[in-house]
Chains A and B, each alone.
Chain A
Amino acid sequence: MGCAMGNLYDKNSLKEIKGSLEKWQNDILPKWLQQVPEREKEFTNLSNIQIKNLYTPLDIEDFDYNTKLGFPGTYPFTRGIHATMYRARLWTMRMFSGFGGPEETNNRLKFLIEHGETGLSLAFDYPTLIGIDPDDPMAEGEVGIVGVSVPSIEDMRIVFDGINMGEVTTNMTINPPAPVLLSFYVGVAEMQGVPYNKIGGTTQNDPLKEFIAQKSYVFPPEPAVRVSMDLIEWSVKNLPKWNPISVSGYHIREAGSTAVQELAFTIADGIEYVRQLISRGLDVDEFAPRISFFWDSHINFFEEIAKFRAARRMWAKIMKEWFHAKKERSMWMRFHTQTAGVSLTAQQPWNNIIRTAIEAMAAVLGGTQSLHTNSFDEPFRVPSEFAAKIALRTQQIIAYESGIADTIDPLAGSYYVEWLTDQIEEQAWKYIDKIEKLGGMLEAVKKGFPQREVTEASYNYQKQVDEKKKYIVGVNIFEENEVDEIRNVPLLEFDQAEIEKRQKARISKIKSERNKELWERSLNELRKAAEGDVNLMPYILQAAKAKATLGEIMNTLKEVFGSYVEPPIY
């Protein structure tokens, strides 16, 4: 028998298939092609992998079921991290949103809680994301636009006013200032009398991708990683319900990377963090179960599904074989997915609803734990309520109508999907090898390697679109003059200037009313701690409680760590 181990096909059947395939290729196909030639000279996906006309068992001839796939909830988790997957519990439909000041957000959160939501998600405005206060000149005109402004513990108190923080979990999309925002959060929970073991949620807290893609960096790479690892180490020891990091490929992809680069760079980021934490003396099984991931789901359907499946298999292997994790949970790649903002177009914006639906289906078929679907009006502005509702309904239709969630990993065993999963994994490993040779991701980032790769890929893609080698409906094919149609898109309206004024006024009130002595001492102690190598979390928490503002805490750290300005990489 040719299928010792778990091989899918024995040699004899493969031979037979090969014979009939050759017959088809030589006798049948050419006649058809003569009459109807193929549409394109070549078909490639977004990672520029060549796609063949047909896949057969011959493309996965050595396929070993048990080593490649296993079963849901078993190593290498290709088919899913849970044994039951969506038959037991659907993915979490986590819609990240927010704008304005703490008062607006408090109202919104209360509304969501009344409607049964317990998993809250905070989007912050740009000043908060880069760690500056609303009264910083750089913040002018930016306060409260893309998310909520939370520059102090007092602002956080207002966000959660009347909400029991022991009964909700909160996802905070925040990076360099993550320790500060977590400190505000913990500080307010303490005021509410919530014990540490009941404080639950997530901080994105992924510093390396900031340099590769998102560019909301503050400190240079090394101190940035230190601060982030401080948060993880501290929460592993103090907040048993906190997910301290969400290693994010999303922003890398949105910055124009290919699917393979997104996969490889994000896993390489993860590897760097695991090494950093182990070198601090932590046991891998102590922290690894708390690491989660965040992926983009782009428009090339099968490529994305293959990416998600490859990601689980790779991470499981890395955790088991490289880092000798013993707990299965340490090997799980748990992940959140967001559909691709970058795939949306201003032209014929309604089409974005369909794009998002296809991308959401890929995420579900790829086994995501939670999903955010973008709204069709995002090429213009932060989503309107109407558009956000359609985005949520898209998920609900997939979940409740389509039958997609009724069986686990339904595309497994597809010759094409399995071949593509292998291809993407193989190419991602090549990148990871290269990054290992550069000394790991921190070194690679300092050398500008992933930055250059992403920049190059995004330019190549844009050129392909310009040359019509890749199509975007309404952009370079089936274009129409539809200005009026776009004008009818209803947009979110709010008085930004008013919110900015209110936020500025509050920060100056906080500054004038706080205990100067406590405040000053807390920042001095933080500075001293930063100069040494102790964990900074307790010092940041102390400063947050002493009403030091976000900007003040970040500036104190900048004095010690310096500020990052990126080298010119095009």
Chain B
Amino acid sequence: MSSAETILDDLLNKASNGNMRAIGRILSYLENPYTMPEDLLEKLAKRAGNAQIIGITGIPGSGKSTLISKLITSLRKRGYKVAVIAIDPSSPISGGALLGDRLRMQEHATDPGVFIRSVSSKGLKGGLSLAALAMIEAFDALGYDKIIIETVGVGQSEVDIMSAADTIVVVTMPGAGDDIQALKAGVMEIGNIYVLNKIDKEEANKTYEYLSFALEKGDLGGNDSNWQPRLIKTSAIMGKGIEELVEAIEDHFIFIKKSNKIQEKIVSRRTLMINLLAEQFLSEGLKLASKEMYDELKSAAINANDIFNTSLRLAKKAVDFLPQNKKD
């Protein structure tokens, strides 16, 4: 056993015993797949496969964070360990990132049965989806029963992340759902559970009717004909409707377990992860290869010559720079 391996096992042991720092560190490694310990993902995945992955999405201002905070309280009361992956969509061109999603969940910060991690696209080598998928494996392996992924539901990587969830919860608010076209954008149309939050607002009834009509007609809701998408009214700030939402989340988990879809979900998640990881390896390899072949590339570009073959040679060269080949 190499010392690296001992260190990794030690870290995993600590993490399994609930050591927050060890868990936090494992998640950090997963943010940088190009240099992550090579057997980390497999060690995690081997232990995983029990958690329910709950994707929660909704437009900014719909009260997702507050809703999730209340959801955590209720899930904890039922004895579940809960992990939250809070994905920040902002990726300005320059500078760093300012992440404040956990601000509204801080009441759970000191609960040893809750782990909240913020993820931004900044500084992530493999993109948001890869990091999120890897973190799902980690939390699942480390004994978290409910893994909540929070996104704003725009952009391709967020669609990927949501599609990977077992249960998709779409949060909307009065006034926001009156235009179904807006809801149909992105992942909004593939929800298993729809939440109308902020029901104390005036237009709530109208929006509720609009949404139920869209659900009945099949304009909204996933494409599984055996699951009738639920529509739940909540007021996160007042804690109203939370129990009903948790029931729906539980029911959906029972439903996919009964219909033997759980394994399918896990496999498709991992397939996506493997693909994204490979993509990441290739793209990093490509960067290094093009550095090495700089003169050749430049000459092809200047002389407008041999473009197809140069590209092919570059692609082949990239393979030399894949992580496992670095050891040579």
- Listed in ascending order, the chain A residues whose CB lies under 8 Å from chain B are 220, 562, 564-568, 570
Contacts and interface: CB of A to CB of B under 8 A. Distances in A.
B100 interface: yes
A567 B104 CA distance: 7
B4 interface: no
B239 A570 contact: no
B101 A568 contact: yes
A567 B69 CA distance: 13
A47 to B, nearest CB: 26
Nearest to A446: B61
A565 B66 contact: yes
Nearest to B102: A568
A568 B61 CA distance: 11
B238 interface: yes
B307 interface: no
B103 interface: yes
Interface string B237-263: 111000000000000000000000000
A467 B212 CA distance: 56
A567 B64 CA distance: 11
B237 A220 contact: yes
B239 A568 contact: no
A46 to B, nearest CB: 25
10 contacts: A562-B238, A565-B66, A565-B69, A565-B103, A565-B104, A566-B103, A567-B61, A568-B101, A568-B103, A570-B100
Contacts of A564: 237
B241 to A, nearest CB: 13
Nearest to B237: A562
Contacts, number: 22
B239 A562 contact: yes
B98 interface: yes
Interface residues of B, number: 13
Interface string B78-118: 00000000000000000000101101101000000000000
A262 B324 CA distance: 61
B98 to A, nearest CB: 5
A149 B239 CA distance: 31
Contacts of B100: 567-568, 570
Nearest 7 Cβ contacts at the A-B interface: A568-B100, A562-B237, A565-B104, A562-B238, A568-B103, A570-B98, A220-B237
B-side interface mostly: helix
Interface string B50-76: 000000000001000110010000000
B198 to A, nearest CB: 10
Nearest to A220: B237
A567 B100 CA distance: 8
Nearest to B99: A568
A567 B101 CA distance: 8
Contacts of A562: 237-239
Nearest to A447: B61
Contacts of B61: 567
Interface in B211-243: 237-239
A533 to B, nearest CB: 13
A567 B237 CA distance: 12
Nearest to A569: B100
B323 to A, nearest CB: 36
B221 to A, nearest CB: 29
A567 B98 CA distance: 13
Contacts of A220: 237
A568 B66 CA distance: 12
Contacts of B98: 568, 570
Contacts of A570: 98, 100
Contacts of A567: 61, 65, 100, 103-104
A564 B236 CA distance: 11
A565 B98 CA distance: 18
Contacts of B101: 568
Nearest to B200: A222
Nearest to B106: A565
Nearest to A448: B61
A547 to B, nearest CB: 28
Nearest to A219: B237
Given A564-B237, A565-B69, 6 more contacts: A220-B237, A562-B238, A565-B104, A567-B65, A567-B104, A568-B101
A542 B239 CA distance: 28
B134 to A, nearest CB: 25
Contacts of B69: 565
Report which residue of A562, A564, A566 has the largest number of chain B beta carbons within 10 angstroms of its beta carbon.
A562
Nearest to A561: B238
B244 to A, nearest CB: 18
A562 B69 CA distance: 13
A426 to B, nearest CB: 32
A220 B235 CA distance: 13
Contacts of B238: 562
A410 to B, nearest CB: 47
A377 to B, nearest CB: 33
A564 B63 CA distance: 12
A565 B238 CA distance: 12
